[in-house]
C-alpha cells in the first residue's frame, strides 16, 4: 500500500500560496532542525535518524544502506536494538525494506508484520511495532538505501509525514554516499569484461567508438532554503529562462553544426516538449516544495524524481516515452537555476552516447556536438528521440536494460544497429572484424553517390522503381540526396505523433502541400492516419486489448470515427490544389471497408473548388483476408502496396514486437514467395500497379527476390535506397529468376531459402 505523496496538488500559481499552509509548519520545523544540525558540521547517520524520530514522534527511525551484492545493511537506528546495526541484512526484494529498494516506491503500511513480504529479523527487536513507512533513498537515479519509520500503533502515516520522510531521504542521500553506500555499479573484473546486449533497432547503422555516459543531474549543493521567498523568485526567473531558451532552440530548428535540413519543420518534433514546458502544474509542485523549506534546486530534484517514478510505472509505452521529455525539461530548469554557461563536453570521434532516457532537445544538442551513435536504455521505436535519430540518420538502439549499470565513461563499444546488438569492451578479433566491415561499407557508400543519376534497371535491362518511406517534412531533402523516383509511403501519423496530437485542417494542409512542393511532380503516396496498436497519441484513451496490433486501429478507427478521416481527406485535397493526389488506406481487411473509405474521400472531393488533376485511391495489402478477395479488390482500387511487416506477422501469427520470435519466420521462404508471386500475377493481369513498402524492400537480397517475382516498385527508408539500387543494377535478374524457380520447387519444405540465395549473390560478387 502506498500513500499519495503530500504537496503535489495543482492549486495556486507559481510563487503564490498553495492553500496548504496548515501542513507547512511541521515540514519547516523538521527541515529547520536539520539545517541547524548540519550547519554545525557533518552529522552522523545516528544523529540524523534520532532527530527525525523525535520531530515526527516516531518510536523507530532506521536507515538501511546498500552494500555490494545487492544487500541492504542496517546502518543506523533510533528505537531498534543498537547491536543490530551492521548485523541485520536484507537482500534487495526481501522484506518490506528490500521491496522498497527494489521498486523505488514508498510503502505506507498500518500493519507491516502481516504483509506478505515481511521478513522477520529477531536481532532487531521490532516485534512490538505495527505501522511502517519505508522511503527509498536515491541519488542520481540509483537507490542507495531505505529510510524507515515505525510505530507501535497500527496507523497509516499522513501525507505531510510521508512528505517529510521523503525530503529527509533526499537529504540523507549525500551522507549515505559519503558513508560508503554501494550504488549498484559493477566493480572489479566484471567492469573490464566483454558484454553483449540484444536491443531494438531505433535507427540503422554501425558505429565503433568510445562511450559517453549521460548521467542524471548532479545532486544540489544546497538543500535547505534560508529565505523561501527568495527561492521562489529564483524559480520563477529560471522557469521563464528555460521557456525562452527552448523557444529559441525550436525557432532555430537545429543547433549550430546540425545538418542544414528543414529547420522550421523541426518545430513539429519539439512541439510536445514546448507544450510540457508551458504546463505550470509540475512547476507549482516545485514551488510547494520550496515553501516547505527546500532550495529551488532541491525542490526540482524532489518533484522531478516523484513524477519520473510515476511515469515509469505506467504500462502504456507511449506515455512512458514522455518521461524523457520531462527529464530534459527538469535538466534545463536546473541549468537555468545554476546560471552558469554549460561547458560543452568534448566528443571524441565515433563517440556513442549512452543514456537511460533522452529528450528531443537533448538529442539535437548532442548531435550538434558530433556523436556518431546512440543507445537509449528505455527508448522505443515510437519515441521522439527515435524519430529524430532516424531523421538525422544517426545509428541508434533502444529497449535494452542494464547497460547504464555496466558501462564506464570511455569504454569502447560496437553499436550494431543493423543487427540490434551492442558489444561493450569488444575483444580484439571482434573489434578488427567490425573495423574491416566499416572500411568496406565506407568504400561502398562512396561509390553509391554516383548511382543517383544512373538509370534504374538491372544488368539485363529490367527496369525498376525505388521510392522513399518518410514521415516528416524535414526528411524531404532525401529525395535529392538519393535520387528517389518519388515517395512511395508518406506516413501522415508521424508528424501527429511528434506534435502530440492530430493537427487541424490548416496545419495539415501546410504539411501536405510542403511535401508535394518538394516532390516537384514526382509521385507521392499519402497513407491515411495509421494510429492505434503501438502508435498512440499522448493522452489517447485505449481499450483493454490483448492483441492491439489486431485490434481497433488504423482504418477501423477512421471508419468508426469518420470525422477524422474526413478532415484529413479535405486537407489532402486542399493541399493538392489541382495537382495529382494519391491516397492509400491502411489495415484494410475487406473490400467493403475500402469502399466505405473511398466514399468518404470522394464525398469530400465534391466539395473542393479546385479538385486534384487526378485522384488515385488504393490500399495497403497487410491483412491476409484480402488474399482471398483479390479479384473483387483489384476491380475497385487504383493501386495496391504490400505492407510486408504486418502481412508477415499476421500470416505466421508471430508478433513482430516480440523479440524472441520476430525473426523466426522468413520472407525468403517458399510459402511467402508463392503468395507474393500470386499477388504480383493477379495485379499484372488486372493492370493494377503493385508496390511493396515494408521492411523487406530495404534489404538488398529481399529486394532482388521481390524484383524476380515481378514486384519492381519498392519503397524504403532513405538510408537503404542506394544500397538496394547498387545490388539491383549489378544483378542479372533473369539468371536469378531461374535459380529462384528451381529452389522453390526443390526447397518447398525448407524454413528459408536465404542461405542458398545469399551464396549465389556472393558467388556473383553482388554488393550485399
The residues that are catalytic are 384, 693
| CB neighbours of residue 512 within 10 Å | 24
Q: What is the end-to-end Cα distance of the chain in Å, rounded?
A: 57
Contacts within 8 Å (CB) and 24+ apart, 604-612: 604/566, 604/569, 604/570, 604/573, 605/569, 605/573, 607/570, 608/570, 608/573, 608/574, 610/577, 610/578, 611/573, 611/578, 612/573, 612/576, 612/578, 612/579, 612/580, 612/581
Q: How far apart are alpha carbons 246 and 226 in whole angstroms? A: 30
Closest CA to 500 of 542, 558, 533, 540: 540
Q: Indicate the DSSP class of residue 483.
A: T
Closest CA to 152 of 63, 77, 60: 60
Q: Are strands 131-139 and 142-151 parallel, antiparallel or unpaired?
A: antiparallel
C-alpha cell at 423: 558489444
Element at 261 (helix H, strand E): none
The residue whose grid cell reads 502508435 is 535
| CB neighbours of residue 180 within 10 Å | 10
Q: How far apart are alpha carbons 755 and 745 in whole angstroms? A: 16
Task: Spell out the residues 6+ positions from residue 640 whose beta carbon is closer than 8 angstroms to its own.
Answer: 618, 619, 620, 621, 633, 634, 679, 683, 688, 689, 690, 691
Count CA atoms within 13 Å of residue 559 on its CB side.
19
| DSSP secondary structure of 660-705 | TTTTTS-SSSHHHHHHHHHHHHHHHHHT--EEE-SGGGGSHHHHHH
Q: How far apart are alpha carbons 196 and 684 in whole angstroms? A: 47
627 contacts 676 by C-beta, under 8 angstroms: no
Task: Spell out the residues 6+ positions from residue 523 whose beta carbon is closer than 8 angstroms to its own.
Answer: 467, 485, 486, 487, 488, 580, 582
78 contacts 84 by C-beta, under 8 angstroms: no
Q: How far apart are alpha carbons 323 and 397 in whole angstroms? A: 18
267 contacts 250 by C-beta, under 8 angstroms: yes
Closest CA to 758 of 749, 745, 743: 743
Q: What is the 3-state secondary structure (H, E, C) of 406-417?
A: HCCCCCEEEEEC
552 contacts 533 by C-beta, under 8 angstroms: no
Q: How far apart are alpha carbons 75 and 45 in whole angstroms? A: 8
Q: Are strands 206-214 and 352-355 parallel, antiparallel or unpaired?
A: parallel
361 contacts 270 by C-beta, under 8 angstroms: yes
Closest CA to 161 of 12, 50, 4: 4
Length of the chain: 768
268 contacts 494 by C-beta, under 8 angstroms: no
Assign 206 to helix, strand or coil: strand
Q: How far apart are alpha carbons 420 and 262 in whole angstroms? A: 29
Q: Is 409 exposed, middle or buried (0-12, 13-18, 19+ CB in 10 A)?
A: exposed
Buried b (16+ CB within 10 A) or exposed e, 78-111: bbbeeebbeebbbebebbbbbbbbbbbbbbbbbe
Buried b (16+ CB within 10 A) or exposed e, 659-688: eeeeeebbbbbbebbebbbebbebbeeeeb
C-alpha cell at 377: 536504455
Amino acid at each position: 500500500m502506498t500513500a499519495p505523496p503530500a504537496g503535489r496538488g495543482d492549486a495556486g500559481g507559481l510563487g503564490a500560496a498553495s492553500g496548504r499552509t496548515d501542513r507547512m509548519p511541521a515540514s519547516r520545523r523538521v527541515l529547520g532542525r536539520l539545517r541547524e544540525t548540519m550547519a554545525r558540521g557533518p552529522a552522523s547517520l545516528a544523529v540524523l535518524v534520532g532527530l527525525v524520530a523525535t520531530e515526527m514522534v516516531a518510536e523507530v527511525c532506521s536507515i538501511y544502506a546498500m552494500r555490494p551484492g545487492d544487500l541492504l545493511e542496517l546502518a543506523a537506528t533510533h528505537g531498534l536494538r543498537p547491536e543490530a546495526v551492521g548485523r541485520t541484512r536484507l537482500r534487495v526484494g526481501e522484506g518490506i525494506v528490500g521491496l522498497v529498494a527494489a521498486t523505488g516506491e514508498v510503502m505506507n503500511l498500518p500493519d507491516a508484520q502481516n504483509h506478505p513480504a515481511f521478513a522477520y529479523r529477531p536481532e532487531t527487536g521490532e516485534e512490538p511495532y505495527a505501522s511502517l513507512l519505508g522511503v527509498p533513498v536515491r541519488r542520481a537515479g540509483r537507490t542507495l538505501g531505505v529510510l524507515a519509520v515505525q510505530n507501535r500503533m497500527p496507523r497509516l502515516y499522513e501525507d505531510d509525514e510521508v512528505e517529510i520522510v521523503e525530503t529527509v531521504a533526499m537529504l540523507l542521500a549525500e551522507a549515505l554516499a559519503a558513508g560508503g553506500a554501494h550504488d549498484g555499479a559493477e566493480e572489479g573484473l566484471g567492469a573490464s569484461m566483454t558484454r553483449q546486449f540484444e536491443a531494438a533497432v531505433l535507427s540503422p547503422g554501425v558505429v565503433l567508438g568510445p562511450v559517453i555516459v549521460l548521467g542524471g543531474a548532479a545532486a544540489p549543493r544546497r538543500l535547505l532554503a534560508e529565505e523561501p521567498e527568495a527561492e521562489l523568485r529564483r524559480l520563477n526567473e529560471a522557469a521563464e529562462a528555460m521557456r525562452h531558451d527552448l523557444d529559441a532552440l525550436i525557432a532555430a530548428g537545429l543547433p549550430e553544426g546540425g545538418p542544414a535540413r528543414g529547420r522550421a519543420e523541426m518545430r513539429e518534433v519539439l512541439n510536445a516538449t514546448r507544450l510540457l514546458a508551458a504546463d505550470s502544474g509540475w512547476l507549482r509542485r516545485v514551488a510547494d516544495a520550496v515553501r516547505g523549506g527546500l532550495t529551488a534546486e532541491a525542490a526540482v530534484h524532489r518533484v522531478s524524481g516523484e513524477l519520473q517514478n510515476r511515469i515509469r510505472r505506467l504500462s502504456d509505452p507511449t506515455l512512458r516515452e514522455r518521461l524523457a521529455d520531462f527529464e530534459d525539461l527538469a535538466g534545463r530548469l536546473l541549468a537555468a537555476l545554476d546560471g552558469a554557461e554549460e561547458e560543452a563536453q568534448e566528443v571524441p570521434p565515433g563517440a556513442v552516447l549512452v543514456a537511460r532516457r533522452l529528450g528531443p532537445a537533448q538529442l539535437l544538442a548532442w548531435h550538434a556536438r558530433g556523436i556518431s551513435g546512440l543507445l537509449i536504455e528505455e527508448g522505443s521505436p515510437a519515441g521522439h528521440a527515435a524519430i529524430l535519430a532516424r531523421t538525422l540518420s544517426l545509428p541508434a538502439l533502444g529497449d535494452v536494460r542494464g547497460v547504464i549499470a555496466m558501462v564506464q565513461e570511455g569504454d569502447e563499444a560496437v553499436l550494431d544497429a543493423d543487427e540490434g546488438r551492442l558489444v561493450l569492451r569488444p575483444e580484439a578479433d571482434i573489434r578488427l572484424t567490425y573495423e574491416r566491415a566499416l572500411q568496406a561499407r565506407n568504400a561502398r557508400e562512396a561509390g553509391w553517390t554516383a548511382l543517383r543519376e544512373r538509370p534504374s534497371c538491372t544488368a539485363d535491362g529490367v527496369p525498376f522503381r525505388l521510392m522513399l518511406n518518410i514521415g516528416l517534412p524535414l526528411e524531404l531533402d532525401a529525395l535529392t540526396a538519393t535520387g528517389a523516383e518519388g515517395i512511395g509511403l508518406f506516413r501522415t501519423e508521424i508528424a501527429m505523433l511528434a506534435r502530440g496530437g492530430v493537427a487541424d485542417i490548416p496545419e495539415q494542409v501546410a504539411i501536405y502541400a510542403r511535401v508535394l512542393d518538394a516532390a516537384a511532380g514526382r509521385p507521392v503516396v499519402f497513407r491515411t492516419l495509421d494510429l492505434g496498436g503501438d502508435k498512440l497519441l499522448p493522452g489517447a484513451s485505449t481499450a483493454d486489448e490483448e492483441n492491439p496490433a489486431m485490434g481497433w486501429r488504423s482504418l477501423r478507427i477512421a471508419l468508426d470515427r469518420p470525422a477524422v478521416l474526413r478532415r484529413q481527406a479535405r486537407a489532402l485535397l486542399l493541399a493538392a490544389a489541382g495537382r495529382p493526389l494519391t491516397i492509400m488506406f491502411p489495415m484494410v481487411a475487406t473490400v467493403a471497408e475500402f469502399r466505405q473509405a473511398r466514399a468518404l474521400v470522394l464525398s469530400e472531393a465534391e466539395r473542393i473548388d479546385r479538385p486534384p488533376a487526378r485522384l488515385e485511391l488504393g490500399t495497403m495489402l497487410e491483412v491476409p483476408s484480402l488474399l482471398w478477395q483479390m479479384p473483387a479488390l483489384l476491380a475497385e482500387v487504383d493501386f495496391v502496396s504490400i505492407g510486408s511487416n504486418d502481412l508477415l506477422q499476421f500470416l505466421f501469427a508471430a508478433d513482430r514486437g516480440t523479440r524472441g520470435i520476430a525473426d523466426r519466420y522468413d520472407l525468403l521462404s517458399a510459402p511467402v514467395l508463392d503468395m507474393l508471386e500470386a499477388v504480383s500475377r493477379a495485379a499484372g493481369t488486372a493492370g493494377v500497379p503493385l508496390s511493396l513498402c515494408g521492411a523487406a524492400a530495404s534489404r538488398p537480397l529481399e529486394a532482388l527476390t521481390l524484383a524476380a517475382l515481378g514486384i519492381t516498385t519498392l519503397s524504403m527508408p532513405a538510408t537503404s535506397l542506394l544500397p538496394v539500387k547498387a545490388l539491383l543494377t549489378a544483378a542479372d535478374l533473369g539468371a536469378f529468376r531461374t535459380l529462384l524457380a528451381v529452389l522453390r520447387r526443390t526447397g518447398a519444405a525448407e524454413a528459408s531459402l536465404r542461405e542458398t540465395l545469399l551464396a549465389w549473390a556472393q558467388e556473383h560478387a553482388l554488393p550485399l
